[in-house]
Structure 1
Amino acid sequence: MAETQLHAAAAKGDAATVKMLLAKGVAIEARDSSGSTALLVATHANRVEAAKVLIEAGADVNAKDNIADSPYLYAGARGHLDILRMTLAHGADLKSTNRFGGTALIPAAERGHVETVRTLIQAGVAVDHVNRLGWTALLEAIILGQGGEKHQQIVQALVDAKADVNLADGEGVGPLQHARSRGYARIVQILTAAGAR
């Protein structure tokens, strides 16, 4: 029953209760019905203080739930930057992948989380990792992005990090062709300047 209280406190961001329950010896890695630990619950709700207490108490930042999300992967995908930085400082597995076989960088790029993308690149996440759809972070930023300012900055960040601008998708269509077919003029410029064909 105490584990349920820990998850509830984490979801509400009640750091004081989280601390008190941990001091009482409540299992920090206990799972709820979705396979989530209290840290993942705090991460879902972007409860930074509760997450901080859990991480500093030794919660596993790589513990995956039933759909292969971990606090690290989820924080990256959703752009929860404060929690992401804490997971990176506490042993985030940069090679871990989500249910689509993608790293945290790929959904961050797709969703337009500029600072998150920069943070993950700096942390050393492989920029050319290919997920099960046959897409890299660069391809997802173009194919699933809107071509606006945020996605332009992300494409630039990936290019600056030496992402392979000619790495095509499963059908053999490269980033430049995808950007052209969508009319993303600025992204086409960035890619062309980087040697995309």
Structure 2
Amino acid sequence: MDPNIQGGSYDNPSQAACAHGHYGVAKLLLERGADPFSQGGRFTNALQAALFSESEAIVKLLLEKGVDPNPGNTLQVVAYYGFEAIVTLLLDDGADLNIQDKTHRNALHEAAMQGSEAIVNLLLERGTDPNIQGGAFGSALQAATYHNREAIVKLLLEKGADPNFQDVQGGLFGNALQAAALRGSGSIVKLLLEKGVDPNVQGGRYGNAITAAACNNCWWDDGREVVTRLLLDYGAILSDAP
């Protein structure tokens, strides 16, 4: 039987085996001539299917067969889900650290947003720019700040992330201080202010941090008063609020 026979939602047998984490079956199919580069089906290709099953062994098998580690949003996906071992495999095989998907997201942005300190550190050690732009939050620092990932905020700052970074690509909050203020994260707001961030910096959806902190439509009430007091103590000017 042809190991590349097409049909069904997975398009071919090898993609089905990869998607369900059946290493032995995937290996046998490849040995019998299954095409590891075949495109189509639910996951588009075998590598993406292997990511779905979280199978480090199958990912390694496919990479050894010469599969490109950069198709689609592969690195972003594994960074988002916290698959550190697979991130390492992809990077060791030449995956592009700074590749972005159609929505301009990148692996550092995804790992920071999801709180994977180990993957953030790995990406930075491999040479990812801590200030790389992209995604809905503009930068990894804003993504980590908005999701209250204090340990990652500290790590990014230690590795050279600019606390004064201004998003000019249409991100939600313009800067990390506004994101932290909206979230009501007093500890992160204080950290950024101690790094010299201007409490009156303008930009983003809410105009400035103190407006974000006082916003009636905020999702988080906890910490709003603490953040407002901090901003005022560091010189926020109420009259500048839009």
Bin for the TM-score computed over the shorter chain: 0.7 to 0.9
- Residue 62 (structure 2) aligned to one of 44, 54, 57: 54
Kindly indicate whether the alpha-carbon contact (under 8 Å) linking 1:102 and 1:129 is maintained by their aligned counterparts in 2. Answer: no
Q: Please list the CA deviations of residues 27-75 of structure 1 after superposition, one character each: whole Å capped at 9, or x if unmatched.
A: 11112234621111111221112112112222211022xxxx22x2211
- Residue 33 (structure 2) aligned to one of 22, 25, 36: 25
- For 1:83, the aligned partner's letter is I
How far the C-alpha of 1:190 sits from its partner, in A, is 2.7
How far the C-alpha of 1:109 sits from its partner, in A, is 0.8
Segment drifting more, 48-57 vs 172-181: 172-181
Return the TM-score normalized by structure 1. 0.86
Given the superposition, is the C-alpha separation of residues 13 and 34 from structure 1 closer, same or farther in structure 2, using an over 3 Å criterion? closer
Alignment of 1:1-197 (within 5 A): 2-3=3-4, 4-34=12-42, 36-64=44-72, 69-70=73-74, 72-131=75-134, 133=136, 135-143=138-146, 145=147, 147=148, 151-169=149-167, 170=170, 173-197=174-198
Q: Whole-Å Cα distance in 2 between the matches of residues 30 and 107 of structure 1?
A: 27
Kindly indicate whether the alpha-carbon contact (under 8 Å) linking 1:105 and 1:117 is maintained by their aligned counterparts in 2. Answer: yes
Kindly indicate whether the alpha-carbon contact (under 8 Å) linking 2:109 and 2:135 is maintained by their aligned counterparts in 1. Answer: no
Q: Which runs of 5+ in 1 are unaligned?
A: none
- For 2:45, the aligned partner's letter is T
How many residues are paired up? 187
Structure number with greater CO (CA < 8 Å, separation at least 6) is: 1
Given the superposition, is the C-alpha separation of residues 79 and 132 from structure 1 closer, same or farther in structure 2, using an over 3 Å criterion? closer
Structure 1: 4+ residue segments shifted above 3 A: 169-173
Q: Whole-Å Cα distance in 1 between the matches of residues 100 and 197 of structure 2?
A: 27
Q: Whole-Å Cα distance in 2 between the matches of residues 86 and 109 of structure 1?
A: 19
Equivalent pairs: percent with the same residue? 28
Query: What RMSD over aligned residues (CA atoms) do the two structures have, in Å?
Result: 2.0
Q: Whole-Å Cα distance in 1 between the matches of residues 42 and 25 of structure 2?
A: 22
Segment drifting more, 130-139 vs 109-118: 130-139
- For 1:139, the aligned partner's letter is Q
Q: Whole-Å Cα distance in 2 between the matches of residues 15 and 181 of structure 1?
A: 46
- For 1:162, the aligned partner's letter is G
How far the C-alpha of 1:119 sits from its partner, in A, is 1.2
Q: Please list the CA deviations of residues 5-32 of structure 1 after superposition, one character each: whole Å capped at 9, or x if unmatched.
A: 1111111211112111111221111122
